Chains A and B, each alone.
Chain A
Amino acid sequence: MLGTLIGVSFLTFCLTWLAPGDPVSMLLETADTVVSAELVEQTRHDLGLDQPFLVQYVNWAGGVLHGDMGMSYSAKKPVVDKLLEGFAGTLLLAVVTIIFVLIISLPLGIWSAVKRNKLPDYIVRGLSFIGVSMPSFWIGLLLLYFFGLKLRLFPIAQSEVTAAGIVLPALTLAIYMSSKYMRQVRTVILEELNHDYVVGARARGLSETTILWKHVLPNAILPLITLLGMSIGWLLGGVAVIEMVFSWPGIGNMAVRAISMRDYPLIEGFVLWIAIVYMVINLLVDMSYSWLDPRLKKEAR
Chain B
Amino acid sequence: MAHTKTFSHGHGVSNVNMDINMDVDSNLMSRIKANKQFSIYSALVVLIILVAIFAPWLAPQDPLVGEMKNALQTPSAEHLLGTDKMGRDTLSRIICGTQTSLFMTICLVVLVAVVGTFVGTMAGYFGGKIEMVLMRFTDMMLSFPGIVLAIAIAGIMGGSVINTILALCVVSWAKYARLVRSLVLKIRNQDFITAAQLCGTSTKMIIWQHILPNTLPMVVITAAMDIGTMMMEIAGLSFLGFGAQPPTPEWGLMLNEGRQYIQTAPWLMVYPGMAIFIVVAIFNLWGDSLRDILDPRQT
Contact = CB atoms under 8 A, between A and B. Distances in A.
Given A16-B156, A133-B228, A142-B270, 18 more contacts: A4-B143, A8-B144, A12-B149, A15-B152, A15-B156, A21-B158, A133-B281, A135-B235, A141-B259, A144-B262, A145-B270, A149-B266, A237-B145, A244-B239, A271-B148, A271-B149, A271-B152, A275-B144
Nearest to B279: A133
Given A138-B273, A274-B145, A15 B241 contact: no
A260 B241 CA distance: 9
Contacts of A145: 262, 266, 269-270
Nearest to A275: B144
A149 B284 contact: no
Interface residues of A, number: 49
Contact of B157 (A15, A135, A240, A241): A15
B277 interface: yes
Nearest to B277: A134
Given A11-B149, A129-B284, A282-B143, A259 B156 contact: yes
Interface string B150-181: 01110111100000000000000000000000
A137 B236 contact: yes
A129 B156 contact: no
Contacts, number: 128
Contacts of B147: 237-238
Contact of B255 (A129, A137, A262): A137
Contacts of A248: none
B145 A141 contact: no
B68 interface: no
Contacts of A28: none
B255 A4 contact: no
A189 interface: no
Given A4-B143, A233-B145, A259 B262 contact: no
A279 interface: yes
A154 to B, nearest CB: 14
Nearest to B151: A240
Contacts of A270: 148, 152
B232 interface: yes
Contacts of B144: 4, 8, 274-275, 278
B280 interface: yes
A234 interface: yes
Contacts of B235: 135
A188 interface: no
B72 to A, nearest CB: 16
Most buried by B among A3, A141, A244, A260: A141
Contacts of B263: 149
A267 B270 CA distance: 32
A224 interface: no
B157 A138 contact: no
Contacts of B242: 259
